[in-house]
Amino acid sequence: MKHDLFRKAYDGSRQIYAEYGVDTDTVLERLSAIPVSMQCWQGDDVTGFEKVGELSDGGLMATGDYPGKPRNADELRMDMEEAFSLIPGRHRINLHALYAEPDSKVERNELQPEHFSRWIDWAKEQGAGLDFNPSFFAHPMVRDGFTLTSTDEGVRRFWIEHGVSCRKIGACMGRELGSPCITNFWIPDGHKDLPADRKGPRVRLMSSLDEIFSEKIDPGYNRDSLESKLFGIGSESYVAGSHEFYLGYAIRNQKLLCLDSGHFHPTEDISDKISAILVHLDEILLHISRGVRWDSDHVVILNEEPKAIAREIVRGDFTSRVHIGLDYFDATINRVAAWVIGMRNMIKALLIALLEPSALLRELEVNGDLTARLALMEELKTLPFGSVWDHYCLQNDVPTGKTWLEEIERYERDVLSRRN
């Protein structure tokens, strides 16, 4: 009976969108072809499973201590499977290097593909691609907040070797899974107070990156990406890897540029940057987060920013050139629910964008009818996308509405609550 109601609602919505020239069946086909990369680090508060002694905060901060945190990689993968069962579509998995599973202690500059073999095998079972990130934080070799920009050649050499290893690991993942792995570089290097030398660290960073990227790797296996940041904890006054630095480096060397929605000024929206950058680069990576007054990595909600980002991707016909991943970690709420909320909201944002009659809006703009353009944009906001979303969930055999939360509550009761 309930499914009959959803079908009737969808049929009505399909007719309404057809009046605007939008075929909802075609829209859902397009939506199913857009993967979102789900970040493993939400599941365990960016802890990882390597054995390197005490971890420093490395410029990261996960708040909260919600019960049920996974104690090993198998439990983390179990939690990710639970999340994927509640998320419509086929998506990707995003790993950090500190999620290696060595049989004995292995330093990060010595990591090999074999240390991620269980992740690769599991991803094959899930039918999902893997993305990868070197972990330039939470490690004793982060000296005074510096890695690739360090004046200590031993420190800098350690992290260069880590970067080289990670590209090879990413290439192995891409080759094994038949889908290019995006290996994304972010470093915390910077100064808490005003530096005397802003140039030196950036010169050293450029030299380090040139060495890391010196070996050519088939882009069919691995694609390199660079992620900037405005500031971090302990680097409030200066960050070597700024947006301007990486933008220039990416264009010069034809690397992907990663735009993290939490890594810019709180009033700065990354949606306008997408088309500006894709004039110069073939592809970019997005990390979708939600900063609250600072880069606090809150769970993604369906507010204006992800909707604006999705609109720019769709309006620019960039769905094959923009890679989307999530990047947040919140331990104040159920960790599996945090994945599901963020993933479902990002997919909803993409659906809303795909349901927009973009060609009609462009035609009105070209014809100079700006009144009709604005009026139509506003009317679209109240069209019944929710019933189209429910239909998409039913197509993918995942719960509609708030019913997914009932499954989360069962999982917490039967699985998470039994972890110590």
Q: C-alpha angle 57/52/173, rounded to 5°?
A: 95
Residue 239's SS3 state is strand
**170 in Cβ contact with 132 (< 8 Å):** yes
Distance CA 231, CA 187 (A): 11
Buried b (16+ CB within 10 A) or exposed e, 213-226: beeebeeebbbbbb
What span, in angstroms and rounded, lies between the C-alpha atoms of 252 and 200?
20
Q: What are phi and psi of 101, to 5 degrees?
A: -125, 70
Q: Please, which residues have CB within 8 angstroms of residue 267's CB and are 6 or more apart in sequence?
A: none
Question: What's the distance, CA 144 to chain centroid?
Answer: 28
SS3 content of the chain, % helix, strand, coil (to 5): 45, 10, 40
Residues classed as catalytic: 186, 227, 229, 260, 263, 287, 295, 297, 327
Which burial class, exposed, middle or buried, applies to 379 when counting CB atoms under 10 A from its CB (0-12, 13-18, 19+)?
Answer: exposed
DSSP letters for 294-339: SS--BPP-SSHHHHHHHHHHHHTT-TTTEEEEE-----SS-HHHHH
